């Protein structure tokens, strides 16, 4: 039997953007934590739907609408199986991770939170998993608590456990940090919260396309992610919630699909999952998310995770060898993200110089200003990888960073 | 690489490394704050105006090379200038870095000509102009922080 060697070139062929050049150089795309590129099947799904299948879903009595409804609902089944959720009633389509978190935070502020209660997050969170909870705290009088991190960029587990108090009503935490790549020990953190009967929301935006996620194993109450960070379109995402919790939560928006009957005196809400899907959704976005799920499963998440770890090790070594380069965030468990600063060169200058070499990286605070504050840097440069990236591309990055150094010596 | 050399000229790199007028001014100097949320450039400009002359101007802050060099060279260029001169210089500088300046305008910019290369990098125009916008707000005595977004 031949060993399974993961060849990124084989999958690159699926991504039309691979042929693009930037300033005459081949595009090297290292901004996957911001959004991933789209494979041909996803692009084809969108194009085919708008060319031949477009109709609004639910309630249509004509053929095209029935087909569109079926495609939309079959995407829900795909997502349910992908995450190993118990039922499609637990899969709610949203505009993205941010909206998904906002739905939960808003419902909590209306129903489950009162003055003096506590919400626990971690220092690693993206602004999208901070601000909705701040708003919920403000509306309800609850208090936001933050579990601290250590110098490696890992949540201090003993502190996290200590901050789970009898007043904690929910813990919200990132599966993977977008700014540093830290993989939180979510399984353990969920267990700790459950010991005290505290529900947990996991922000999985940076996790779902890089590792296998099994919701029965994790057992969290809520899990959120965006389609566009997993090779699907923007404007679409998922809120997974345990049915018992979703039943207790009030809908956030009114109108369209979330309604069963309306009189001027009283409106009856639709059943799950439609209760949370007000208005005509991003139909083709959801259908194409289903295609992205199929695609990811064909490539295989275990294989992706193994290859990306190999690429991370390679890139960490290559970048560490550059004098003056400091990697920010050196957690033991890390996804394929490298955040760094380089001597006197500001992240924005690094970004501009790399861009002229055809390399797309992100420079800035990565919507995680508290993380930047912790490491006392105004910004970092961040290279984030996907399975279509190669070691040869990492070599080009390392060479380009030496040019940055030359300019800023 | 040529365009990069054009952007990161020696004079810009020098001002980035050793910014001039890089300190606070004591009261009753005016203070105005600027922020570029895109990359986190942040500065405070201190202004001391006597009559219609900029008697002293200094800054503090952190950010990218283009931003820092621009703030440094702006403060050097404006000391002793009248408010009217400053306004004219600001408008010319703005046109040149956004690629709309004429050859004559470029000539009158003096050492600030070094920033002409920024026009080839649209994403960096904000870095070059943040200090100027913040200064303008200071001169107009606006209280709120200036943001480039």
Distance, in Å, from the CA atom of A9 to the CA atom of A248, rounded to the nearest integer, reads 48
Supply B63's token pair.
Answer: 């950010």
- Residue A110: CB atoms within 10 A of its CB come to 14
Local confidence band at A256 (pLDDT 50, 70, 90 cut-offs): confident
Kindly list the residues of chain A whose beta carbon comes within 8 Å of any beta carbon in chain B.
Answer: 344-349, 352-353, 356, 363-365, 372, 378-379, 403, 407-408
pLDDT surpasses 60 at B42:
yes
Check: CATH 3.40.640.10 for A44-298? Answer: yes
SS3 A398: helix
Calculate the average pLDDT of chain B: 90
Find the mean pLDDT for residues A204-215.
97
Is this complex's ipTM strictly greater than 0.90?
no
Backbone torsions φ then ψ of B61, nearest 5 degrees = 155, -175
Q: Are B105 and B92 in contact (CB under 8 A)?
A: yes
Say what the pLDDT of residue B28 is: 81
Among B65, B69, B70, which would you mutate to test the A interface (most chain A Cβ atoms within 10 Å of its Cβ)? B65
pLDDT surpasses 90 at A5:
no
Local confidence band at B133 (pLDDT 50, 70, 90 cut-offs): very high
Smallest Cβ distance to A364: which of B7, B13, B38? B38
Say what the pLDDT of residue A3 is: 66
Distance, in Å, from the CA atom of A393 to the CA atom of A247, rounded to the nearest integer, reads 48
Supply A251's token pair.
Answer: 């809908």
Which of A195-199, A288-292, B93-97, B142-146 comes out lowest in average pLDDT? B142-146
Residue B56 CB partners (closer than 8 Å, separation 6+) = B25, B29, B46, B47, B48, B79
Q: Which residues of A touch B38 (CB under 8 A)?
A: 348, 364
Q: Where in the sequence of chain A do the CATH 3.90.1150.10 domains occur?
A: 8-38+300-404
Active site residue A63: no
Residue owning tokens 């194009």: A47
Selection from B126, B112, B118 nearest residue B40 by Cα: B126
Local confidence band at B142 (pLDDT 50, 70, 90 cut-offs): low
Tens of pLDDT, residues A76-121: 999 999 999 999 999 999 999 999 999 999 999 999 999 999 999 9
Local confidence band at B148 (pLDDT 50, 70, 90 cut-offs): low
Say what the pLDDT of residue A60 is: 80
pLDDT surpasses 90 at B36:
no
pLDDT surpasses 80 at A384:
yes
Say what the pLDDT of residue B48 is: 93
Q: Which strand ranges, in their side-by-side order, compose the sheet holding A337-342?
A: A325-328, A337-342, A380-384, A362-364
Check: CATH 3.60.9.10 for A8-38+300-404? Answer: no
Q: Are A388 and A37 in contact (CB under 8 A)?
A: yes
Q: Which residues of B touch A346 (CB under 8 A)?
A: 39, 63-65, 67
Burial of residue A134 (number of CB atoms within 10 Å: 0-12, 13-18, 19+): middle
Distance, in Å, from the CA atom of A378 to the CA atom of B38, rounded to the nearest integer, reads 11
Distance, in Å, from the CA atom of A51 to the CA atom of B23, rounded to the nearest integer, reads 62
Helix axes B65-78, B83-97, angle to 10 degrees: 150
DSSP string, A116-162: T-EEEEETT--GGGTHHHHHHHHHHT-EEEEE-B-TTS-B-HHHHHH
Local confidence band at A18 (pLDDT 50, 70, 90 cut-offs): very high
CATH topology of domain B2-144: Sufe protein. Chain: A (3.90.1010)
3-state secondary structure A65-95: HHHHHHHHHHHHHHHHHHHCCCCHHHEEEEC
Give the domain ranges of chain B. 2-144
Work out the angle at residue A230's Cα, subtended by the Cα atoms of residues A293 and A357, and round it to the nearest 5 degrees: 140
For residue A59, give the DSSP letter: S
Q: Are A230 and A33 in contact (CB under 8 A)?
A: no
Tell me: cis bond preceding A273? Omega within 30 of 0 counts. Answer: yes
Find the mean pLDDT for residues A179-195.
98
- Residue A7: CB atoms within 10 A of its CB come to 10
In angstroms, what separates the C-alpha of B76 from chain A's closest C-alpha?
A: 22
In angstroms, what separates the C-alpha of A39 from chain B's closest C-alpha?
A: 28
Q: Give the residue from chain A lying closest to B68, CA to CA.
A: A346
How many CB pairs below 8 A link A and B?
Answer: 53
pLDDT surpasses 90 at B97:
yes
Selection from A345, A322, A374, A355 nearest residue A182 by Cα: A374
**Which one is catalytic: A43, A144, A367, A369?**
A367
Is B121 at the interface with chain A, CB within 8 A?
yes
Is B71 at the interface with chain A, CB within 8 A?
no
Among A345, A346, A376, which would you mutate to test the B interface (most chain B Cβ atoms within 10 Å of its Cβ)? A346
């Amino acid at each position: 039997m031949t060993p399974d060697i993961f060849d990124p070139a084989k999958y690159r062929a699926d991504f039309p953007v691979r042929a693009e050049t930037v300033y005459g150089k081949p595009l090297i795309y290292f901004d996957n934590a911001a959004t991933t590129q789209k494979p041909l099947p996803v692009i084809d799904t969108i194009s085919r739907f708008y060319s031949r299948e477009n109709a609004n879903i639910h309630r249509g009595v004509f053929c095209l609408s029935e087909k569109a409804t079926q495609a939309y609902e079959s995407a829900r089944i795909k997502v349910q199986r992908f995450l190993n959720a118990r039922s499609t009633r637990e899969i709610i389509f949203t505009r993205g991770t941010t909206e998904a978190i906002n739905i939960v935070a808003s419902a909590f502020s209306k129903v489950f939170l009162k003055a003096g209660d506590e919400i626990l997050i971690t220092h690693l969170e993206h602004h999208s998993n901070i601000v909705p909870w701040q708003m919920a705290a403000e509306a309800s009088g609850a208090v936001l608590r933050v579990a601290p991190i250590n110098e490696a960029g890992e949540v201090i587990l003993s502190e996290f456990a200590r901050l789970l108090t009898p007043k904690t009503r929910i813990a919200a935490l990132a599966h993977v940090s977008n700014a540093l790549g830290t993989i939180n020990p979510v399984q353990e953190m969920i267990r700790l919260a459950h010991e005290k009967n505290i529900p947990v929301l996991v922000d999985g935006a940076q996790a779902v396309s890089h590792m296998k996620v099994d919701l029965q194993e994790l057992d969290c109450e809520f899990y959120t992610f965006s389609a566009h960070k997993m090779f699907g379109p923007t404007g679409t995402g998922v809120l997974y919630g345990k049915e018992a919790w979703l039943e207790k939560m009030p809908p956030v928006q009114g109108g369209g699909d979330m309604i069963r009957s309306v009189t001027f005196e009283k409106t009856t809400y639709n059943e799950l999952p439609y209760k949370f899907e007000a208005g005509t959704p991003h139909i083709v976005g959801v259908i194409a998310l289903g295609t992205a799920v199929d695609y990811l499963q064909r490539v295989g998440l275990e294989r992706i995770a193994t290859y990306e770890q190999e690429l991370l090790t390679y890139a960490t070594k290559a970048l560490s060898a550059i004098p003056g380069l400091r990697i920010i965030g050196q957690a033991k468990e890390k996804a394929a993200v490298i955040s760094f600063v380089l001597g006197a060169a500001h992240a924005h200058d690094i970004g501009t110089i790399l861009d002229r070499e055809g390399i797309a990286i992100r420079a800035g605070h990565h919507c995680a200003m508290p993380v930047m504050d912790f490491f006392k840097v105004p910004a970092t440069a961040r290279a984030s990888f996907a399975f279509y990236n190669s070691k040869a591309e990492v070599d080009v990055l390392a060479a380009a960073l030496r040019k940055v150094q030359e300019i800023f010596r | 690489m040529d365009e990069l050399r054009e952007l990161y000229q020696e004079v810009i790199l020098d001002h980035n490394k050793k910014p001039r007028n890089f300190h606070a001014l004591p009261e009753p100097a005016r203070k105005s704050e600027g922020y570029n949320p895109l990359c986190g450039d942040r500065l405070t400009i201190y202004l001391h105006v006597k009559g219609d002359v900029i008697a002293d101007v200094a800054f503090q802050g952190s950010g990218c090379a283009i931003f820092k060099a621009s703030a440094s060279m702006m403060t050097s260029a404006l000391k002793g200038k009248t408010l009217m001169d400053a306004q004219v210089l600001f408008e010319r500088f703005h046109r040149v870095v956004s690629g709309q300046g004429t050859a004559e305008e470029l000539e009158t910019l003096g050492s600030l000509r070094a920033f002409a290369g920024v026009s080839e990098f649209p994403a960096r125009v904000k870095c070059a102009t943040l200090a100027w916008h913040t200064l303008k707000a200071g001169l107009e005595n606006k209280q709120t922080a200036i943001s480039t977004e």
